[in-house]
Amino acid sequence: MGKSKSGGTRSLLRGRVGSDVYSIGRDAKGKRQQVVRSLAEQVSNPRTAAQMQGRAIMSTIMQAVSAMSYIVDHSFTGLKAGQPCISEFIAQNYKLVKADVLANPVSGNDFGIAAFGEKGAKQGAYVISDGNGAPLAGYTFDAAAKTITIAIGETHTPAAIRAALGIGVNDFFTLCCLKANGAFLYERARVYANMAADQEITAENVESVFVFEGNNPAETTLVGDNIVITYADADACAAIIVSRKQEEGFKYNRAVLVAPSNPEYPYSVAIATYPEGARRFLQGGNSEMVSTVPGGGEPSEPSAQTPQLSALTYGGDSALNQSDSVSFGNSKKFNGTVSNVPASGSLSLYVGSSNVGNITTTTFELTPASSVSGRITLKLDNEVIQTCGNISEAIPGGGQ
């Protein structure tokens, strides 16, 4: 309900009356003034089967993004780190998950599908890196034993290891695993550059051959003519990304997690947890549906899941968190990813009071038409649903 501190109907109001929201702002001269904005009387959200399918797939993808962003936000060759790589991950894997849902709705699925409102990544055959880099050679991975075995032959030297794996002095590889509990494990291995290429590897110095970094600790042993790397944990839903150093930067191989065996949930199980709007009898609805009669009416539809930005950059700099602050620039663009894009209604990105543009797709790119400054907000039908970073104007006379 709208309230006034001073009383009376001509005083300034704060709050909501019906579909109108009242607030107090200031005009260009700094004088207090009444600000009124109207909310949509009703937002259509039929929650059709097709909509629920799309939301189930997107929810699954975004949970995977959340779990694996530390790697997939820079693992696509030729794309800038951050939102461009995240968008590529979403684009490639959305197609794969959708195709799997259509081909294997009940069993034999390569991706687990998130239930309604469920948090945590599901195992699946996700593309976690892409590029024209050569994959790793000369190794075997045993998920049960949690080992990578490298056959180096009779010559036990760092040079022999690099030759067997097909990597250079400045190259390295990262074992990535997605666990059934949603945990994402990664461990980078680099042949120690300070060890001479022809130095003899023995049981005493084998632990110094590799330098490891990540969240899945590993140790190295020499077993006959093999180097064996044993990880603290691993899973068959795994892939190895090779980072190859080039003059222009790094390039990667196409790495796809191995499809898990019977991941939960298959689509038929997951989709049953998603609410679906009522349908008329001739459209497949049941006979118990309430009829529309004078003075009667139908049960109102539940509101849609609230759209939420999971990634947002401005000119390549993060603008997702309220603490993020970036400067305005005429050539800069907003790139973002948003979940639960409504089928109807106006979903818009604002900077201060300026509408930068409407959002109609999960991934988007928007360019401010003119100078903007202030807090970044996501609005649905003019109602703020998420507050993000802050845009400051260019310094007068100082460029951008």
Q: What 3-state class would DSSP assign to 395?
A: coil
The Cα–Cα gap between 42 and 70 comes to 40
The Cα–Cα gap between 276 and 358 comes to 26
Q: Are 186 and 214 in contact (CB under 8 A)?
A: yes
pLDDT tens digits, 17-26: 766 777 777 6
Per-residue DSSP letter, 14: B
Looking at residue 141, its pLDDT comes to 98
The Cα–Cα gap between 243 and 251 comes to 6
Looking at residue 10, its pLDDT comes to 62
Closest CA to 93 of 256, 251, 241: 256
Looking at residue 398, its pLDDT comes to 41
Strand partners, 175: 187, 240
Q: Are 252 and 133 in contact (CB under 8 A)?
A: yes
Rounded to whole angstroms, what are the CA distances from 52 to 37, 45, 267, 274? 31, 11, 11, 7
Looking at residue 240, its pLDDT comes to 98
Looking at residue 294, its pLDDT comes to 41
Strand partners, 354: 351
Closest CA to 240 of 174, 319, 162, 143: 174
The Cα–Cα gap between 35 and 20 comes to 10
Ranges under pLDDT 50 in the chain = 286-304, 395-400
Q: Show the tokens assigned to 198.
A: 């022809």
| DSSP state string for 341-390 | --SSS-EEEEETTEEEEE--SSEEEE--SS---EEEEEEETTEEEEEEEE
**Domains in the chain with CATH codes:** 1-39 (no CATH), 49-125+259-271 (no CATH), 132-253 (no CATH), 308-392 (2.60.40)
Per-residue DSSP letter, 3: B
Rounded to whole angstroms, what are the CA distances from 98 to 151, 185, 242, 264? 39, 25, 28, 16
Looking at residue 323, its pLDDT comes to 76
The Cα–Cα gap between 52 and 104 comes to 17
pLDDT tens digits, 279-306: 555 655 544 443 444 444 333 333 346 7
Looking at residue 120, its pLDDT comes to 93
The pTM of the full predicted model, rounded to 2 decimals, is 0.63
Q: What sign for the dihedral angle of Cα 11, 16, 21, 25?
A: positive
